[in-house]
Amino acid sequence: MGKLIRMFLANGRTDGLKTLEISNMTIKATVFPRPLLKDFLKREEADRPGVYMLYGGQLDGNKPMLYIGEGDPVSERLKNHGFNKDFWTEVFVFTSKDEYLTKTQIKFLESRLINFAKEAKRVELDNVQSSSEPTISEVDRAEVQQFLEAIQLLVYSLRLNFFEGLSIASTNLTKDEIIYEYKNKTATGKIAVRDGKYVLLSGSTAVKAYRKSADQNIKKYRKELVADGALKYNNDTKLYDVVKDIPSNSSSYAAAIICGGSASGPRVWKYNGKTLKEIESTNQ
């Protein structure tokens, strides 16, 4: 079932303050760069309880940093972070349009979001102390779960991967699913196109050595997959085994995992003798 997300550019600029709302839901997201903190503090959302995320990219090529917090209202915490946290360049604030969020509920949301970010391993969390999940009633849990799912949807709609793991548990192939294959020396990779992602399937194998064409991004990506447990070295075959499904936005990145270097995904992935490029071109 489709979802309608409404975005409003408060000052008419895509890089300025903007709000996002999901049709028929009470959640409201406000996103803005650090220099516009004063503008946000004048808005009614600043005086409401909610959760927020401070985000900042790393200049040294490491993972971006993220801090997840809560406030009742959020304004006081954000004012404080404007002085004592230097890393962040952008903030995402999630509040309720009907102002019905209790302190216990926002603590619950904060705790779950922190755990999601830890499990995904996409960012370096600036949260020094872990937030314990409070005990809430069955009714409150059901209500706040909807709010939590809405936050995830809004984050994904902004093409941010804070809560999206590098790999996912393997799933069974469907009857009509097209499986593309890429053979490289002794390694063989298989991908399926699912939900707009090129998913490298468990059971694939990947070479250990890097090609000369491998840049630092490819090397970093494969090291992260090893650390994540998605790639495991097999001493018998001298190859990496892909033990979990690995979603990717790029078929070329999926191929890079297999061959250890640059590769043209649309050309190397094949199904029944046809390349991914040929099949995708036919389907357009």
Listed range (55-59, 142-146, 264-268) with the worst mean pLDDT = 55-59
- Whether pLDDT at 61 is above 80: no
> Measuring CA to CA, which residue among 211, 151, 191 is closest to residue 20?
151
Confidence of residue 183 (pLDDT cuts 50, 70, 90): very high
Contact 116, 123 (CB under 8 A): no
Confidence of residue 33 (pLDDT cuts 50, 70, 90): very high
In this prediction, residues 208-213 reach a mean pLDDT of 92
d(CA 260, CA 163): 26
Give the number of other Cβ atoms within 10 Å of residue 222's Cβ: 20
Arithmetic mean of pLDDT over the chain: 91
d(CA 239, CA 187): 7
- Locate the domains of the chain by residue range: 5-157, 180-283
- Whether pLDDT at 137 is above 80: yes
What pLDDT sits at residue 99?
67
- Cis bond before residue 35 (omega within 30° of 0): no
pTM here is: 0.81
* Phi/psi-derived region of residue 86, left when phi > 0, alpha when psi is between -120 and 50, beta in every other case: alpha
Confidence of residue 223 (pLDDT cuts 50, 70, 90): very high
Confidence of residue 130 (pLDDT cuts 50, 70, 90): low
Confidence of residue 109 (pLDDT cuts 50, 70, 90): very high
Taking only the tens place, the pLDDT of each residue in 141-168 is 888 899 999 999 999 999 888 898 899 9
Contact 88, 55 (CB under 8 A): yes
- CA terminus-to-terminus distance, the chain: 23
Give the number of other Cβ atoms within 10 Å of residue 166's Cβ: 20
d(CA 29, CA 40): 12
The helix/strand/coil state of 41 is: helix
In this prediction, residues 20-28 reach a mean pLDDT of 92
- CA 66 from chain center: how many Å? 12
The helix/strand/coil state of 178 is: coil
What pLDDT sits at residue 131?
66
